[in-house]
Amino acid sequence: MSETKVTRGWADQDKPRTMHSELLEINMGPQHPATHGVLRLLVKTDGEIVHSVTPYLGYLHRCAEKIAEGCDWRQWMVYTDRFDYLAPMNMNFGYAVAVENMLGVEVPERAEHIRVICAELQRIASHLIAVGTFGLDMGAWTPLLYCFREREEILNIFERLSGGRMLYNYFDVGGVRFDAYDGFEADVLRMVNVMEQKLVEYNTLLSYNKIFIERTADVGVIDVDTCHQYGCTGPVLRGAGTPFDCRKDDPYSIYDRFEFDVPYGTGEQGTVGDCWDRYMVRVRECFESCRIIRQAVAAMPGGDVMSPDLKKLVKVPAGSLYTRTESSKGEIGFHIFADGGSKPFRNKVRSPSYSNLHVIEKVGPGMMVSDLVATVGSLDIVLGEIDR
């Protein structure tokens, strides 16, 4: 019986070749659940390894900054809702604070407390989506449904408060549009009580699930220097081990009155700054938000909710200012150029997801394709604010 020689290409070579194959281009998106919106990632892969990632943005671009030139200062608030449609209250807050800083207007105490409660509830709602969809990216269906169940309770409160379920347009320059309804505080406290118990359940369900940890620990590590270089903020920066939070380190509104901690990544399950750390920062922030809400509800005074010395048509004094606040995704900044008139000359939005997504160009190459999905999921991007 004669021996047949198996020819396998590389097996016939004298020297073993390094296992490189031809680069393959894959489009991740624009319609792909793992991109969290209409985002296209052009991924070049070498086998299963990512060689380069190039994001293509702009599918949701509306040029809200151009629209601002035709609105007066208050009218543009409604467009800030649409940037981060998962956390519109935080966007409203950022713009309101930015304009008020230039106007130098005093916001009534009651309005400040309602604002903080809304912003923190919204942060929880947004993080619930982040946690749920991240679990979904990792193949865990169930947590998403529970997360949406709890988010629904928050949306119900917002609906009674503002009339909207997704886009609220509730904050206004100088205060909030309507006073809180009777029983608002009780609703919020009930929600917080439920939330704190449910978060513990999520931890047992997802956070410390062995499969979930295997998929996320040591994956997509982003260190502090990279975060600073690429302008990453929010849970991405805190996940990298830096407890930086605009609410604490660059306080605005009345956040300096409340007692809360800033969670940060410690590499508990793997390396500092991996996907699990970023995920866990969000879960822990929900606990901290509950703490802030309790204090704000306890200290809530009566009185006006809109600054009385502000006219309907505000005129911002000429000048420029960059103001940043902490949204659920990171640092939302408004760079405002005013000419002294009733319309903005130029409103620039610095959105956190924009910078957070940029870092994928740096950390993407070298990881497995499945880890790329995990990393994009852990960045928690919202395309509405990237494309604006």
Partner 1 sequence: MEAAAIHALLTEKLGDAVLDVIDSFEKGSVIAAGSIAEACRLLRDEPALHFDQLMCLTGVDWDGYDESGKGKSVDILGYDELGRPEKSDRVGEGDLGVYYACYSSRHGHKYTLAVRVPRDAAQIPTVSGVWATAAWHEREAYDLVGMTFSGHPDLRRILLEDGWVGHPLRKDYVMPDQWQGVPLQGQDYAKNPFSEDDVVLPARPGQEG
- Which residues bind to partner 1, rule: CB under 8 A? 57-58, 60-63, 65-67, 69-71, 82, 85, 101-102, 228-231, 242, 244, 249-250, 315, 317-322, 324, 331, 333, 335, 337-343, 345-346, 348, 350, 354-355, 358, 362, 384, 387-388
- Tell me the longest C-alpha to C-alpha distance in the chain: 102
Shortest Å, Cβ 289 to partner 1: 23
- Sign of the CA dihedral with 350 first, then 112, 283, and 148 last: negative
Return d(Cα 98, Cα 282) in angstroms, integer: 25
Q: What is the three-class DSSP state of 345?
A: coil
Closest CA to 386 of 358, 345, 363: 358
Shortest Å, Cβ 372 to partner 1: 19
Shortest Å, Cβ 326 to partner 1: 13
Return d(Cα 17, Cα 242) in angstroms, integer: 43
Give whichever of 101 and 271 is closer to partner 1, judged by the CB atom.
101
Joined together, the tokens standing for residue 236 give 């991405």
What is the CA 329 to chain-centroid distance, rounded? 2
Return d(Cα 182, Cα 193) in angstroms, integer: 19
Q: Which amino acid is at 120?
A: E
Return d(Cα 318, Cα 315) in angstroms, integer: 9
First-to-last C-alpha distance (Å) of the chain: 72
Give whichever of 212 and 244 is closer to partner 1, judged by the CB atom.
244
Give whichever of 340 and 366 is closer to partner 1, judged by the CB atom.
340
Give whichever of 98 and 180 is closer to partner 1, judged by the CB atom.
98
Q: What is the three-class DSSP state of 184?
A: helix
Give whichever of 99 and 117 is closer to partner 1, judged by the CB atom.
99
Shortest Å, Cβ 323 to partner 1: 9
What is the enclosing helix (H) or strand (E) of 27? strand 24-28
Q: Which residue has the tokens 């503002």?
A: 162
Joined together, the tokens standing for residue 65 give 């900054």
Shortest Å, Cβ 386 to partner 1: 9
Give whichever of 109 and 250 is closer to partner 1, judged by the CB atom.
250
Shortest Å, Cβ 238 to partner 1: 13
Give whichever of 177 and 315 is closer to partner 1, judged by the CB atom.
315
Shortest Å, Cβ 58 to partner 1: 4
